[in-house]
Structure formats: C-alpha cells, structure tokens
Amino acid sequence: MTDAHDSQPLPQPDFGAPNVERADWASMPDLPLPPLLDPASQTALFLDFDGTLVEIAERPGAVVVPPDLPGLLVRLASALDGRFAIVSGRSLAALDSLLGPIGVAMAGSHGGEFRPAGSSEILAEADPLPAEAVSAFVDFAKGYPGLIVEPKPFSVAVHYRQVPQARDALLEASAKVAAQFGLGIKHGKQVAELSMPGSDKGTAVSRFMAMPPFASSTPIFLGDDVTDEDAFNVLGRFGGSGVLIGPMRDTAARWRLPDVTAVHEWLAATKFDNGEAQA
C-alpha cells in the first residue's frame, strides 16, 4: 500500500460520524481514515472479528453475522492472493460455526491456535490452560448470576457485560488465579481472560508474516479492542499500520474507522479483479 505520509492522499469515502459523543475523546487528536485497500499492492490484511466484522453482543453466541460477510471475506482473500487472515480472541471452532467453511487463514484464542488457508489442521501455539484455573473461574462466576464463562482451548474468558458491578471482584479474582498458575491476563471490552503466556494477536501476526504468501508484504490490521494493540505494536516491524475501530482512544494504530458499518463499507469499496467495488 502506498504510504500516505509520502504521497498525495488516496481517495477516501465518507464513512460517517462516530457513534459516540465526541466529548468522550475530544482531548485526543483524531486519526485519519485509512486509504482504500489496493489488492494490486503487496498488502496483507488482518481482521479482528467481534467489534470489527460483527457488532458486539450481550452474549458471545448472540452475535449476528451479516449474510453477505462470509462471501466478501472469501473475495478479499482471493483478491489479495491469500494475504488475508482473521485474528480473533474466539476459538477457531467458534469462528467456523459463525462464518462457515470459508477456507481463509485464521488465528484463534488470541494466537493460541492457528490454521493456514485451505487447511483443516489446527496448529497449537500455546499449552492448554490448567483445568484447575478454569474451575476457579467457573466457581467465581457462580457467585454472580449473569456472568458468562467462555472456556476456550487455550484460555478462559469471563464476560461481565450483563453484570458490570462484578467487574472489580472479577479483576481481583483474575489476578489471584493468574498468579497461582502463572497465567497471563487479557482485559477486553467487559471481559477478563486468562491464557497461557507467550501468545497474543501480535505473535499471531508475526507467525503469519513469516509464511508465504504473507512474507515480504505490508500488513494492515483492523481491530477495536485493547487486545488488538498487541497486533498494532508489531506491525511496524513489517512496515505496516493498524486501523482502530470505534471511538478514539490511546492506541498504536495509525488510522481509524468509526464503527463496524464503516468497516464493511471500507472492505466493500475494494477494487476487485473486475475493477468494480463490491455491491
């Protein structure tokens, strides 16, 4: 992708206004819109899932996948000659159940599991979480009806979106369990997650970038949550840039799109092989 700092700005459509009050982040300098994706360049595209491709729901299983999204993702992967991957905190099994067998490269569980494009083999990038740690989270959640425990192959998450008053107690319990078992803690949007150390979205991107067809390309990563900062922070090693999705906050991203709708519009504005943007 052409560096926007070194050339004339590329055409940028109007993706609308943020869906939050500007006063929430008025003290921070805003980021520009990303230039349109150019498949003819050596760009690699990495996409978060929740909060980026789909709206965040009250429960992980309640997300709604737009019917045209899987097909668009397949077209993007093809247009980029395979330099395309979804990098999510969800397990690969959960992504498959939501998107179907689309065959694109994916990393799940915050980089704990990995699958190249066109493969059915899931490669483990982390050790499984101790069962005792999962049990400790389950036992804690029993004291707060409405907490949702989401076990994954290499981590366990507790969502407190429906029980915000449990946040402080959950964070305290997370710290104790993490210290007891030598685990890492990831804090996201109304979720706390315990995982084995050494895997995150940054390591997932780095792993992809060491493989064909990603090697020697310029990565772009779209993500909305603080866990996506791990990916944003490694992009500079490869000459790449991050795109923050949602309201402005402290971030290592270079560009910003205001919401999930804007992400879909940006992706659909890609010029495909026939020279036309996605309808």
What digits encode the pLDDT tens for the residues 68-121? 999 999 999 999 999 999 999 999 999 999 999 999 999 999 898 999 999 988
Asked whether residue 106 falls in the same domain as residue 220, the answer is yes
Return d(Cα 217, Cα 227) in angstroms, integer: 23
Would you call 243 helix, strand, or coil by DSSP?
Answer: strand
Residue 9 lies in a domain: no
CATH classification at residue 245: 3.40.50.1000
Using only the alpha carbons of the chain, give its radius of gyration: 19
Asked whether residue 36 falls in the same domain as residue 174, the answer is no
Asked whether residue 139 falls in the same domain as residue 95, the answer is no
* Phi and psi angles of residue 250, each rounded to the nearest 5 degrees, phi first: -65, 125
Residue 166 lies in a domain: yes
Residue 15 lies in a domain: no
Active site residues: 48
Asked whether residue 31 falls in the same domain as residue 156, the answer is no
pLDDT recorded at residue 22: 34
Structure tokens at 25: 């982040």
**Higher pLDDT among residues 4 and 267, named by residue:** 267
Q: Which structural domain range is residue 160 located in?
A: 131-195
Asked whether residue 95 falls in the same domain as residue 163, the answer is no
Residue 230 lies in a domain: yes
Q: Where is the domain boundary, 195, 219, 240?
A: 195
Asked whether residue 44 falls in the same domain as residue 147, the answer is no
pTM: 0.83
Asked whether residue 63 falls in the same domain as residue 139, the answer is no
